[in-house]
A and B are shown apart, each in its own frame.
Chain A
Amino acid sequence: MDTVIRLGLTLSQIGAVMVAVLLTVALLTLLERKVLGWMQDRMGPMEVGPYGVLQPVADGLKLFFKEDIIPAGANKFMFSMAPILSLVPALIGFAVIPFGPDWTVDVGGVDFKPFVITDINIGVLYILAFASIGAYGIILGGWSSNSKYSLLGGLRSAAQLISYELNVGLSIVGVLLLSSSLSLVTITNAQAGGFWNWYFFAWGSFPQAIAFVVFIISSVAETNRTPFDLPEAESELVAGFFTEYSGMRFAFFFLAEYGNMILVSCVATVLFFGGWHAPVEILQGPESLHWLTGMFWFTFKVYGFLFLFFWIRATLPRLRYDQLMRFGWKVLLPIALGNIVLTSIFAYIFP
């Protein structure tokens, strides 16, 4: 009986998270075009529904009913599987993100944490590992299309992903030094009390502001967003690794990119900005309302980061590929390494 209840609870949690993520992606595709439009003194999409709010529905329906072309020279199996291989890691990363307070409720004799699907003690490593697996989808999609643009886009993407993966890994070590845990729930709990306890400010120990800057730049590069969208630089590579894709498979690459964007925003929120905690205790409200204010502050911060992604896209021009690699290896890596040394020295002197 316990097993059945637990299974049911887990399934409903996973369902809720998947629906929430997919709806957020739909919302983001509209928001991105709207925000870009406003920043460039345009209106953005206006035709479908009032103020264009039904645009994501129209896009989704179009992609769903569109002919799915498999080019003649392509490796059919890998061409079909690559979008799924890139979508799955983007979705399952959300399994360890705490969306709200660390409560344990008793449902029919089963201990149940409503706001996190599973609190594993290697949460950070899990997310890093699956972020790397997403690169396989991209490189396989690029290679199996048997198109020169796709191949070059896939290769560039893989090289870029692994270069910036290193910086993401290094920038997180500073947070781990302060939190002594890899579990995202424990890391969030350690930042309770007020915004000065968030690891971005880290009152009383070394602030992780530098690590945060390295993390957010590397995340933009990892999700292939402007100014690091070399794999899909339309002026030289048409559409990069998904040049040959159409219909639903194209939509999956799109979903994966936006899902990854949401995921890195969640990770940045949890690691550096206190997760679901409010900036000051008073804004958190009474204990019984923590689930509501917690979810509110989490969503608020995540959308703040997503807005930052759009803002960066509207502001910065694209880098050249050699600049991109030089920036990752010769600028960000020494900064991230220096941050680890400084944090550990500081933590040793002022324990």
Chain B
Amino acid sequence: MSGSDLLLEYLTKFFPILIFTILALGFGLVTLLLSYLVQPKYPESEKLSTYECGSEPFSDSRMPFPVRYYVIAMLFVIFDIEVIFLYPWAITFKQLGVIGFIEMMIFIGLFVVAYVYAWRKGALEWD
């Protein structure tokens, strides 16, 4: 199979996903539009104010939030990349033989070292 045939096959296989995305988007937008056309619209300032258990909203809600969330996001980025590296290995596991096995055990060992470090540093605590 030549390169352009391969590309064509890939495009044929991914094209339905593009159509599906467009249809799903269209479903969302059209339903919103139809609903917009038939719904009542009686805006008033009390109704449009932000919900805060009945009291007047007393500050803007674009406020600073705990840095904990950022640490979790950082850890996720690091560990998720390592997980994605495991995927190609798992797929080709049966062809790689003993070398591939040992290499990946070393890789998982490194993963564990990073994990233990994050744990000991208290990055996984939430308080």
> Could you tell me which A residues sit within 8 Å of B by CB distance?
6-7, 10-11, 13-15, 18, 64-73, 80, 83-84, 87-88, 91-92, 95, 117-120, 124-126, 143, 145-152, 155, 158-159, 162-163, 165-166, 169-170, 173, 176-177, 180-182, 238, 243-244, 247-249, 252, 321-322, 325-326, 329-330, 333-334, 337, 340-341, 344, 347-348, 351
Contacts and interface: CB of A to CB of B under 8 A. Distances in A.
B119 interface: yes
A166 B87 contact: no
B101 A146 contact: no
Given A69-B48, A84-B32, 17 more contacts: A64-B31, A65-B38, A67-B40, A72-B50, A73-B60, A84-B29, A87-B28, A117-B16, A118-B15, A146-B61, A148-B63, A151-B61, A159-B73, A169-B80, A182-B87, A322-B125, A329-B75
Given A70-B48, A125-B87, A337 B80 contact: no
B14 A341 contact: no
Contacts of A83: 28
B112 to A, nearest CB: 7
Interface string B102-122: 001100100110010001000
Contact of B39 (A66, A333, A344): A66
Q: Which of B16, B72, B105, B108 has the most CB of A within 10 A?
A: B16
A92 to B, nearest CB: 5
Contact of B69 (A10, A71, A159): A159
B76 A165 contact: yes
A150 B52 CA distance: 11
B13 A118 contact: yes
A248 B32 CA distance: 6
A6 B13 CA distance: 11
* Chain B: number of interface residues, binned into ranges: 35 or more
B119 to A, nearest CB: 7
- Majority secondary structure, A binding face: helix
Contact of B101 (A84, A147, A348): A348
Nearest to A64: B35
Interface in B53-95: 53, 57, 60-63, 65, 68-69, 72-73, 75-76, 79-80, 83-84, 86-87, 90-94
Contact of A243 (B24, B51, B124): B51
Contacts of A341: 105, 108
B5 interface: no
Contacts of A181: 91
B48 to A, nearest CB: 4
A159 to B, nearest CB: 5
Nearest to A168: B83
Q: Which of B27, B28, B34, B104 has the most CB of A within 10 A?
A: B28
B38 A67 contact: no
B2 interface: no
A214 B49 CA distance: 42
B32 A80 contact: yes
B91 A91 contact: no
A243 B13 CA distance: 40
A35 to B, nearest CB: 28
25 contacts: A7-B19, A64-B38, A65-B39, A66-B39, A67-B41, A68-B39, A69-B43, A71-B51, A73-B60, A84-B29, A88-B24, A88-B25, A92-B24, A118-B14, A120-B17, A147-B52, A151-B65, A170-B86, A176-B87, A176-B91, A177-B90, A180-B92, A249-B32, A337-B115, A348-B98
